[in-house]
């Protein structure tokens, strides 16, 4: 019969040494994850515009909040710039995924929209060309997006959506709600997609609010409830003539109701009363 050797119990010193090694490994892993999170945040914020364009009577404000869970960051953006014909272009969107790769892809989508908008100012055509551009690079990711064009001379706002969250609007007369315009599929999925364009007048004292789903949707909070809450908030703010910066802050505050874990972005266009 083979006699088994007795198993020697680890001494206190050996256990402390082992515990120390495990602690060091855990600390190194946590530091690496923290470094990746900081990199994603820095990359994300560096790609957001430092300033947004304005026009006589038009005030614009935006907010961005990073995700609260680990590496869940990097997909949302907002942007605004002057178009070649003197009108103003705005975009907001959400890239699939939440990591450094998503942040980098977000930058490509945002700059791709700017590049396409130098050749056409029609929002539907901008999205169509951006979609074909993303498909040509075969990145494997996709993005939802809304693109707007504001004409200062007439106050007309044109908009098109690529699978993105609907906008919210309100007028000084007390009207408002959720924009129910038809939308195409997200960018980077199907070739030859067409994106319908809707025209509306941004009348005096009215607001048009764009956002990402991190603002209005949470783990146990349906997006419909979030949109309804924002719509009521915007109607109230317009009635009370709330400043555009404060309105953007209030809309972003809706994320507290949803207990959001995703990153979130808000873009507000407000036509100030004369």
The token pair at 117 is 């908008």
Q: How far is CA 272 from CA 105, 149, 203, 236, 253, in A?
A: 35, 18, 9, 15, 22
Give residue 7's pLDDT: 45
pLDDT tens by residue, 126-143: 999 999 999 998 777 899
CA 242/CA 250 separation, integer angstroms: 10
The domain spanning residue 166 has which CATH number?
A: 3.60.40.10
Which of 49-63, 74-88, 89-103, 143-157 is the least confident region? 89-103
Q: What's the half-sphere exposure (Cβ side, CA atoms, 13 Å) at 119?
A: 11
Residue 162: predicted pLDDT:
97
Does any domain span residue 1?
no
CA separation for the pair 65, 48 (Å, rounded): 12
The CA distance from 37 to 76, in Å, is: 15
Beta bridge partners of 145: 93, 163
| CB-CB neighbours of 247 under 10 Å | 24
Distance separating alpha carbons of residues 22 and 43, to the nearest angstrom: 31
The mean pLDDT of 8-18, rounded to a whole number, is 60
Report yes or no on 18 lying in a domain: no
Dihedral sign from CA coordinates of 36, 42, 45, 49: negative
* Residue 234: per-residue pLDDT: 96
pLDDT at residue 254, rounded to an integer? 84
172 within some domain: yes
Assign residue 197 a region: left if phi > 0, alpha if psi is -120 to 50, beta otherwise? beta
Domain-located, residue 20: no
% of the chain surpassing 90 pLDDT: 56
- Give me the pLDDT at residue 44, please: 58
> Please, which residues have CB within 8 angstroms of residue 85's CB and are 6 or more apart in sequence?
121
CA 20 to chain centre: 42
Could you list the residue range(s) of the whole structural domain that residue 162 is in? 37-271
Task: Centre a 10 Å sphere on the Cβ of residue 1 and count the other Cβ atoms it contains.
Answer: 3
Give the CA dihedral 43, 54, 237, 158, nearest 10 degrees.
Answer: -90
Residue 21 lies in a domain: no
Q: Is the pLDDT of residue 8 over 60?
A: no
Supply the pLDDT for residue 38. 61
- Give yes or no for residue 104 having a pLDDT over 80: no
Residue 192, token pair as written in the block: 């030859």
Regarding predicted confidence, which is higher, 131 or 108? 131
For residue 63, name the pLDDT band (cuts at 50, 70, 90).
very high
> Residue 163: helix, strand or coil by DSSP?
strand
Does the pLDDT of residue 30 top 70, yes or no? Answer: no
What does the alpha-carbon distance between residue 113 and residue 130 come to, in Å, rounded to a whole number? Answer: 6
Look over the chain and give the mean of its residue pLDDT values, rounded to a whole number: 85
Is residue 6 predicted with pLDDT exceeding 60? no
Decide which of 81 and 2 is more confident: 81
> Percentage of the chain with pLDDT > 70?
76
* Stretch among 26-35, 85-94, 132-141 having the lowest mean pLDDT: 26-35
Half-sphere exposure of 23 (CA within 13 A, CB side): 6
Q: What was the pLDDT predicted at 23?
A: 65
Distance CA 246, CA 49 (A): 19
**CA separation (Å) from 42 to 35, 80, 91, 105?**
10, 20, 21, 14
pLDDT at position 101: 74
From the list 176, 155, 167, the residue with the least C-alpha distance to 239 is 176
* pLDDT 10s digits, 140-193: 789 999 999 999 999 999 999 999 999 999 999 889 999 989 999 999 999 999
Evaluate whether residue 106 is within a structural domain. yes
Residue 205, pLDDT above cutoff 60: yes
More confident site: 6 or 188: 188
Of 86, 46, 79, 54, the C-alpha closest to 244 is 54
Question: Does residue 164 fall inside a structural domain?
Answer: yes
Distance in angstroms (rounded) separating the CA atoms of residues 83 and 187: 21
**Is 14 a domain residue?**
no
Above 60 in pLDDT, residue 196?
yes
Residues β-bridged to residue 36: none
pLDDT at 56 over 80: yes
Domain count, the chain: 1
């Amino acid at each position: 019969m083979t006699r088994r050797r007795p198993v020697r119990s680890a001494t206190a010193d050996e256990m402390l040494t082992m515990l120390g090694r495990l602690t060091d490994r855990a600390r190194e892993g946590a530091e690496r994850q923290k470094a990746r999170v900081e990199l994603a945040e820095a990359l994300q914020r560096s790609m957001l515009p430092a300033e947004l364009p304005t026009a006589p009577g038009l005030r614009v404000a935006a907010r961005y909040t990073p995700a609260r869970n680990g590496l869940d960051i990097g997909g949302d953006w907002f942007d605004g710039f002057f178009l070649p014909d003197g009108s103003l272009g705005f975009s907001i969107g959400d890239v699939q995924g939440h990591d450094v790769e998503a942040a980098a892809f977000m930058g490509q989508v945002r700059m791709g929209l700017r590049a396409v908008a130098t050749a056409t100012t029609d929002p539907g055509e901008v999205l169509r060309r951006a979609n074909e551009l993303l498909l040509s690079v075969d990145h494997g990711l996709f993005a939802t997006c809304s693109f707007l064009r504001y004409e200062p001379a007439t106050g007309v706002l044109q908009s098109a959506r690529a699978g993105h969250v609907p906008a919210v609007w309100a007028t000084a007369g007390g009207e408002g709600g959720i924009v129910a315009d038809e939308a195409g599929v997200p960018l980077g999925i199907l070739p030859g997609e067409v994106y319908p364009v809707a025209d509306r007048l941004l009348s005096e004292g009215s607001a048009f609010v764009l956002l990402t789903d991190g603002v209005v949707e949470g783990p146990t909070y349906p997006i419909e409830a979030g949109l309804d809450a924002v719509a009521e908030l915007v109607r109230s703010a317009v009635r009370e003539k709330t400043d555009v910066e404060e309105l953007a802050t209030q809309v972003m505050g809706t994320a507290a109701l949803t207990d959001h874990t995703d990153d979130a972005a808000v873009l507000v266009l407000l036509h100030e009363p004369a």
